[in-house]
Amino acid sequence: MVRRPVVIVGTRTPLESSEAGSQSGDVRQGLRCGGRVIDRLVRAQDTDPWAIPRAPSDGEAVVLVHQRRVGTVDDTLFDELTGLALAAGAQVLARLHARRHRPEPGGFLGKGKTLELAGLVESHCATLVIVDQRLSPIQERNMERVIRCRVIDRTRLILDIFALRARSREGQLQVELAQLRYLSTRLVRGWSHLERQRGGIGLRGPGETQLETDRRLLGNRIARLKKQLERVRAHRSLVRRGREKLPLVSMVGYTNAGKSSLFNGLTAANVLVADQLFATLDPTIRKTELAGIGTVLLSDTVGFIQGLPTTLIEAFRGTLEEVRLSNLLLHVVDMSDPQHLEHSHQVEETLEEIGAGAIPRIVVLNKIDQVDMVASVRRFGTGEVRSVAVSAATGEGMTGLQGVIAERLRGVRVLKRLRLPPTSYRLRAQVYSLARVESERIDEDGHCVLDIEIGAASEGRLAAQKEFDVAYWAD
C-alpha cells in the first residue's frame, strides 16, 4: 500500500512516525481526546481513502493562526511561525489564515473564522492554538471560551522559547522578568475568584481583591528579580572593564542567519549551530587574532526577530549591552531567505531601539552557497566597505571577511574619557601621539581628565603600555 500522509489542512510537517509507532500514537491520542479521535480518523479517511490515519507522536498538538489586513495569503506566511512553534517543541497539525480589515476587538477573528478554527482544533485534537499577531487578554480569553482550547500569541511563544533556551543565570533571570512583565499586563478582571477576600481581625471591611493581591505579588517578584539582575550585572560589568582595552566586534542579525556558524569560523570556537530559531540566547565572547590589528574580541549573541517583544528587549538589556558597547557590528544576513530584505530592516530597527544604531557595521551576506552568488567584497564609491559575501558553511570568503574587519577596525574611532594619575607624564604623551585629544582638564584630585577620539587599534596599543591600567578609562 502506498504510504500517504493524513490529509490535514495546510500541514507542512506531515506526521512522521512509523506506521507501527503511529498506531500507538493513535491510542495515546485517543485517550487524550476521547471519542473525538474516531471522528477525526473517519473524517481523514473520508477525504482520502488511502490515507493512513496517524496521530502526532510527540510534542504539543497545535493549530497556527495568521490574520492579516491586506495582501495575498499563502503558505509562506506561516514559515516563521512554524519555525517558532517547532523551536518550542510543538507539533504543527493545521494552519488557518484569515483576512480582516481590523481584528475583532472581542475575539480577534470574525465569527465564521472562529468556528472554522474550533472545527480544526476539534478534528485535529489540538491542545493549543498559536496566533501570529498580538492578542489582547480579552481576545485571548474569548477565543479560548469558544474554541475550548488554550490560545497564546506570538509574544508568549517567543517568551516560551527563550525560557527553554536560557542557560546562564543572567539569561534565566532576564527571561523570568520578561515573562512576569508580560503576565502583569494580562491580569484582567473577570475571573470567578475576584470577590473581595474575607478579612480577619483588623482586616475587616473592604479587603484586597484577588486581582490586587496578584498584582502586588507579581510586583514584589519583579522587584526581587530586578535586584538579583543588578547584582549579576554588576559582576558582568567588572568582567567587562577587564577586557575593555581590546576592540569588541559583535555579530548581530536575524535569528538563524548563521551568526554562530560565522563566529565559529572566525574564532575556531564550537558554539551551538542549529537550524532552529533562537538556538543562541546567552552571549559568548572569544578572542581572535587579526592581521595588522592583533587580538580582537568577537561576540556571538541572541538573534533578532520581527515583533521581538518589548518586554524581552527591556529584560535583555544586559545581554544587548555587549552589542551597544561594540566597536564594530557584523550584520549577518541570510541570503537564502526570501525575506532577507525585510528582516534586515527589522534588525536595523532593533539596533536603533537598543541604542546601537550609530555603531559602524559591515553587512555580511551569508549562505551564498545556497544562492547564485560568489564570495566578494562590495564597496561604496568612497571606497568604504558596504558588504561582504561569504559562506560560513563552505568557508568561501572568510579570509576576505577577516581582512575587511581589520580594515574597518583600523578606521573605527571612538570617543572615550581617560582619567590619568597626576604623575603619568609618559602615558599622557602617548595619548597625544595615538589619539586626537578633544579636551583636557585637571580634576579636584589632581588627576588629568582627557576626552579623546581614538582608533580601535591605537586603543589596543595604548592599553598595552606597561604603566596603563584599565581603571584609567572613566565611564
Ligand X SMILES: Nc1nc2c(ncn2[C@@H]2O[C@H](COP(=O)(O)OP(=O)(O)OP(=O)(O)O)[C@@H](O)[C@H]2O)c(=O)[nH]1
Does 330 sit near Mg ion (CB under 5 A)? no
Nearer to ligand X, 217 or 274 (CB): 274
Question: What angle do the packed helices 317-324 and 210-242 form, to 10 degrees?
Answer: 30
Cα first-last separation, the chain: 73
Which among Mg ion, ligand X, none contacts residue 325 (Cβ within 5 to 8 A by kind)? none
Helix and strand counts by DSSP (H, E) for the chain? 15, 15
DSSP state of 191: -
Nearer to ligand X, 18 or 370 (CB): 370
Nearer to ligand X, 126 or 277 (CB): 277
Are 290 and 327 a contacting pair, CB within 8 Å?
no
- Applying CB under 5 A, the span of 86-94, 255-263, 342-350, 457-465 interacting with Mg ion comes to 255-263
Among 123, 280, 299, 326, interactor with ligand X by CB under 6 A: 280
- For Mg ion, the binding residues in 277-296 under the rule CB under 5 A are 279-280
Which among ligand X, Mg ion, none contacts residue 258 (Cβ within 5 to 8 A by kind)? ligand X
- Applying CB under 6 A, the span of 42-50, 111-119, 270-278, 355-363 interacting with ligand X comes to 270-278
Among 172, 260, 284, 366, interactor with Mg ion by CB under 5 A: 260
Nearer to ligand X, 22 or 366 (CB): 366
Q: What is the identity of the amino acid at 162?
A: F
Own/partner pairs, 71-76, CB within 8 angstroms, 24+ separation: 73/97, 73/99, 75/10, 75/12, 76/338
Nearer to ligand X, 29 or 260 (CB): 260
Does 267 sit near Mg ion (CB under 5 A)? no
- Applying CB under 6 A, the span of 53-61, 311-319, 351-359, 363-371 interacting with ligand X comes to 363-371
Does 367 sit near ligand X (CB under 6 A)? yes
Nearer to ligand X, 255 or 344 (CB): 255
- Applying CB under 6 A, the span of 77-85, 120-128, 136-144, 271-279 interacting with ligand X comes to 271-279
Rounded CA gap, 187 and 305, in Å?
A: 26
- Among residues 284, 261, 403, 278, which one has the least CA distance to residue 332? 261
Among 1, 189, 234, 275, interactor with ligand X by CB under 6 A: 275
Does 327 sit near Mg ion (CB under 5 A)? no
Question: What angle do the packed helices 456-463 and 425-434 form, to 10 degrees?
Answer: 160
Which residue is nearest to ligand X, using beta carbons? 303
Q: What is the DSSP string of 13-63?
A: S-----HHHHHHHHHHHHHHHTTHHHHHHHHHHHH-TT-------SSEEEE
Q: Are strands 413-420 and 436-442 parallel, antiparallel or unpaired?
A: unpaired
Rounded CA gap, 63 and 53, in Å?
A: 18
Summarize as ranges the residues that interact with ligand X (CB under 6 A): 253, 255-261, 273-280, 303, 366-367, 369-370, 391-393
